[in-house]
Amino acid sequence: MAARIDGNVAIVTGAGSGIGEAIARRFAEENAAVVIAECNHAAGARVEADIRARGGRALFIPTDVSRAPEVEAMVRRSVAEFGRLDILVNNAAIQILGRLAETSEEDWDRIQSVNLKGVFLCSKYAIPEMLRTGGGSIVNIASVLALVGDPDLAAYCAAKGGVLALTRAAALAYGPLGIRVNAVCPGDVDTPMVRDYFNKDPNPEALRREISSKYALRRIAEPREIAEAALYLASDASSFITGTALVIDGGLTAKCY
């Protein structure tokens, strides 16, 4: 079945950059109306303008996903503008390096509030709107770090593991009411988040080559490759899939030794 979201209304959080931007653009190509819920004003406005210039429907709503009043207002405005809500992609997240004992309480709280509480808040306010029109689809962008560890990203790993647990709980609660909830678990994707990580190394290109060599496909992903999976999970093409995590990692976690 083709992945059809023609005429649907989708909120994509963190759509001003990287994976979220690629998802917003891909959904707009499929003729969905896309809300760009993003805290970086310049980035959100740029993606809105680009999608509109290509004839798509897009609305940038400045939003910090960790703040309940902003999320509630963003969902309300999305529905006021486009009349309904069919799809939510919880993509916004931040990454702060740190081993467990070196992570400050402030960094821990910030990561949990954006990466995990943000998923909770956006879903909390989106679900009633989806129920009003008989259902919808929520796609949570988790990470392979929800499944395997990274010693230097303790708080991030914990938040992403929480996203998977929340995905399952929500899928069970709202499946009977017509809402599917799934996650995707990407490996490294060539976005500003990962480029920042490479650039902290004295030799970013050598680090990129070393990391790429760990993948069966010998490269990291392009944002558009994650967007295709988000489109599949958002659309009726995946109509019997809920409560799952789709790993998109070029074979990274297939390997033991």
Q: How far is the CB of 71 from ligand NAD (least distance, A)?
A: 9
Distance CA 247, CA 240 (A): 17
Which one of 1-9, 53-61, 73-81, 85-93 is the stretch in contact with ligand NAD (CB under 6 A)?
A: 85-93
Rounded Cα distance, 212 and 186, in Å: 14
C-alpha to C-alpha distance for 75 and 158, rounded to whole angstroms: 27
156 is catalytic: yes
Residue 256: how many CB atoms within 10 A of its CB?
4
In the bound complex, what is the minimum distance in angstroms from residue 103's beta carbon to ligand NAD?
16
Q: How far is CA 14 from CA 45, 107, 151, 152, in A?
A: 12, 19, 25, 23
Query: What is the C-alpha separation between 89 and 123, in angstroms, rounded?
Result: 9
Site for ligand NAD in 108-167 (CB under 6 A): 114, 118, 141, 143
Are residues 1 and 237 in contact, defined by beta-carbon separation less than 8 angstroms?
Answer: yes
Q: Which of 17, 182, 235, 238 binds ligand NAD (CB under 6 A)?
A: 17
Of the candidate residues 13, 78, 167, 238, the single one contacting ligand NAD (CB under 6 A) = 13
Query: How many angstroms separate the CA atoms of 100 and 190, rounded?
Result: 26
Residue from 156, 174, 197, 215 carrying the catalytic annotation: 156
- Position 250 contacts ligand NAD (CB under 6 A): no
Provide the mask over 179-218, with x wherever binding to ligand NAD is found by CB under 6 A and - wherever it is not: -------x-xx-xxxx------------------------
Contact 245, 147 (CB under 8 A): yes
Query: Is the distance from CB of 160 to CB of 126 less than 8 angstroms?
Result: no
User: Which listed residue (3, 29, 31, 40) binds ligand NAD by CB under 6 A?
Assistant: 40
Selected binder of ligand NAD within 91, 123, 137, 167 (CB under 6 A): 91
11 binds ligand NAD (CB under 6 A): no
- Minimum CB separation from ligand NAD for residue 91, in Å? 5
CA 227, 229, 230, 232: dihedral to nearest 10 degrees?
120
Please tell me whether residue 56 binds ligand NAD under the rule CB under 6 A.
Answer: no
What is the pairing mode between strands 9-13 and 179-186? unpaired
Helix (H) or strand (E) holding 214: none
Q: If phi over 0 gives left and psi between -120 and 50 gives alpha, with beta otherwise, what is residue 148?
A: beta
Whichever of 16 and 56 has its CB closer to ligand NAD, that residue is 16
* 48 is an interface residue for ligand NAD by CB under 6 A: no
249 forms part of the interface with ligand NAD (CB under 6 A): no
Positions annotated as catalytic residues are 156
> Under the rule (CB under 6 A), what is the footprint of ligand NAD?
13-14, 16-20, 38-40, 43, 63-66, 91-94, 114, 118, 141, 143, 186, 188-189, 191-194
